[in-house]
């Protein structure tokens, strides 16, 4: 199974989380494309306006299956080893899903102010089509 993570390659927080996922997964399950890669995103009909709603997770085996925003973050967590235990517990707590969604929106809309903006777009070594030129960070 492959999943494609569409992230903001100019956001310090987003890149840090992608780098953490890269370390944990090492390209076994997740591959990445920055939202700034319009050519790759165009393959799935994803527009810059779509990206304004937050990160996107695409099921590589069934590209019509997609998650966005906090739902994408939850699904990524669920797919990680033992992650489903934590995600299920989070979802089971009354009001947590609603609060988590609002928290995600606040961070998404203020990410550059809170965490800073990179001077160049981060490219993962585990890119979607295998033709990327990763950053040496």
- Residue 33: CB atoms within 10 A of its CB come to 26
- Is residue 128, in this structure, part of any structural domain at all? no
Answer whether residue 132 shows pLDDT above 80: no
Q: Would you say residue 135 lies in a domain?
A: no
pLDDT in tens, 72-97: 999 999 999 888 888 989 889 999 99
- Structural domain of 21: 3-115
In a domain, 136, yes or no: no
Tell whether the model's pLDDT for residue 108 goes beyond 60.
yes
* CA separation, residue 114 to residues 11, 26, 85, 109, 111 (Å): 10, 28, 30, 10, 5
133 in a structural domain: no
Q: Is residue 122 part of a domain?
A: no
State how many domains the chain has: 1
| Residue 92 within a domain | yes
Q: Does 99 fall in a domain?
A: yes
Q: DSSP secondary-structure letter at 59?
A: E
pTM as predicted = 0.90
Q: What is the pLDDT of residue 129?
A: 74
Helix (H) or strand (E) holding 14: helix 12-25
Q: Does 131 or 6 have the greater pLDDT score?
A: 6
Q: Is residue 40 part of a domain?
A: yes
């Amino acid at each position: 199974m492959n999943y494609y993570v569409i992230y903001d390659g100019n956001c310090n927080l987003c890149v840090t989380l992608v780098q953490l996922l890269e370390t944990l997964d090492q390209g076994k399950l997740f591959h990445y494309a920055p939202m700034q890669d319009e050519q790759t995103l165009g393959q799935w009909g994803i527009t810059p306006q779509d990206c304004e709603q937050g990160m996107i997770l695409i099921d590589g085996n069934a590209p019509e299956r997609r998650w966005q925003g906090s739902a994408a973050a939850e699904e990524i967590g669920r797919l990680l080893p033992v992650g489903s235990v934590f995600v299920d517990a989070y979802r089971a707590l009354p009001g947590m899903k609603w609060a988590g969604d609002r928290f995600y929106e606040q961070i998404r809309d203020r990410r550059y102010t809170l965490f800073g903006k990179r001077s160049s777009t981060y490219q993962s070594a585990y890119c979607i089509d295998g033709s990327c030129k990763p950053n040496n960070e």
